Structure 1
Amino acid sequence: MKHLPLIAALALMPALAGCGLHPLYSGGGSGTVATTLTRVEVGPIEGKAGWLMANALKDRFGASGAPLYRLEVKLDDQIIGLGVRSDDSVSRERRTLRARYQLIDLSKGTVLLDATAGSDAGLDVVNSEYGTIAAENTALERLSEIVADQIVSRVALYAQRTAASAK
């Protein structure tokens, strides 16, 4: 009985082979997707949110060698008050970070990928102005990481699909 889940998993393995799932980063660091990601340069992005986003993207791409692609990103960062107290002050905010990005082939100047990514975070507005500003900044840092992950995942998926169609 102890090994029943293992036996069931092994029995299902042949079925998974035919389902069309393939590892995104097959080949490890020398695979097609990983090497493509290292050839992406991140263009400058305006503002504090842009600085955070650019650093998050550069960390994930790990650029090395001469770039073949450039990623252009435009951000929309908004804070909206949601909850209202009886004295008409805001008690809850939502910070939203949206990115429109384009992957550009540097040799041809063509846009290979044009997409959007985004996320939002809720935060409490406290009596301390410092506390509220700190919460807003922390939310922006988290959102930059989340949106950067979405962008890199989409670029990696594009790289995998173009490599598969070239075969």
Structure 2
Amino acid sequence: MTRLAALALLAVTAPLLNGCGLHPLYAAGGNGPVAQTLGTVEVGQIGGKDGWLMRNALIDRLGKAGGARYRLDVELDDQILGFGVRADNTVTRERRTLRARYKLVDIEAGTVLVDATAGSDAGIDVVRSEYAVIAAEQTALERLSGQVADQIVARLALYASRTKTTDR
């Protein structure tokens, strides 16, 4: 498809999108209601190394717009399970699973607004070098923390867009 044909197709179909009810979640960028609501979420302490990674990933994604109106409480479940066993009973593959149960709490009222879970997993090859396996496990945890944080923030953004939480 040529560039001109693609532009013509876009011009014809763009007005149709307005009628289907789709709208941008982050309309107005950082000044929009969703971004401002996410900026008022304070992330509670999460224990352990995996908790430190998750908390930093969440803080990076939520941003800061003003005083804390909501608190995000997160409980993590981090597991490494070996599978793919050789005849000599050595593991050849691992699966690292990171699951998070999170609650969005209205600080003023003390009520739980969102109670949900998010999670992801990654496969790790087990090689002869113990250092390489430990490095791969750490890299997987860092990547999983980012993926789970993305899921949590997307769910909170959807909640904020549906409830218009900035209209208090």
TM-score, normalised via structure 2 length: 0.94
Listed as ranges, the matches of 1:74-89 within 5 Å are 74-89=75-90
Deviation at 1:9, TM superposition (A): 1.7
From the superposition, tell whether residues 151 and 8 of structure 1 become closer, same or farther in structure 2 (CA, over 3 Å).
Answer: same
Deviation at 1:63, TM superposition (A): 2.6
SS at match of 2:127: coil
Listed as ranges, the matches of 1:113-152 within 5 Å are 113-152=114-153
Amino acid at match of 1:150: Q
| Alignment RMSD | 1.3
Deviation by residue 1:105-153 (Cα, 9 ceiling, x = unmatched): 0010000001110000001001011110110010000000000011011
SS at match of 2:128: coil
Counterpart residue number, 1:43: 44
Deviation by residue 1:51-101 (Cα, 9 ceiling, x = unmatched): 100010011112343200000000010001111112110000000000000
- Are 1:25 and 2:26 an aligned pair? yes
Moved more, 62-71 or 42-51: 62-71
SS at match of 1:130: helix
Counterpart residue number, 1:110: 111
Name structure 1 gaps, 5 residues minimum: none
Calculate percent identity across the aligned residue pairs: 65
SS at match of 1:122: strand
Using the alignment, how far apart are the partners of 1:55 and 1:157 within structure 2?
21
Amino acid at match of 1:47: G
Using the alignment, how far apart are the partners of 2:67 and 2:19 within structure 1?
38
Counterpart residue number, 1:65: 66
Deviation by residue 1:24-65 (Cα, 9 ceiling, x = unmatched): 111111110111111100001111110100010011112343
Using the alignment, how far apart are the partners of 1:53 and 1:4 within structure 2?
45
Amino acid at match of 2:158: L
| Preserved CA contact (<8 Å) 2:36 2:65 | no
SS at match of 1:88: coil
From the superposition, tell whether residues 4 and 140 of structure 1 become closer, same or farther in structure 2 (CA, over 3 Å).
Answer: same
Amino acid at match of 2:162: R
Using the alignment, how far apart are the partners of 1:13 and 1:65 within structure 2?
36
Deviation at 1:6, TM superposition (A): 1.5
Moved more, 39-48 or 56-65: 56-65
Counterpart residue number, 2:54: 53
Amino acid at match of 1:95: R
Name structure 2 gaps, 5 residues minimum: none
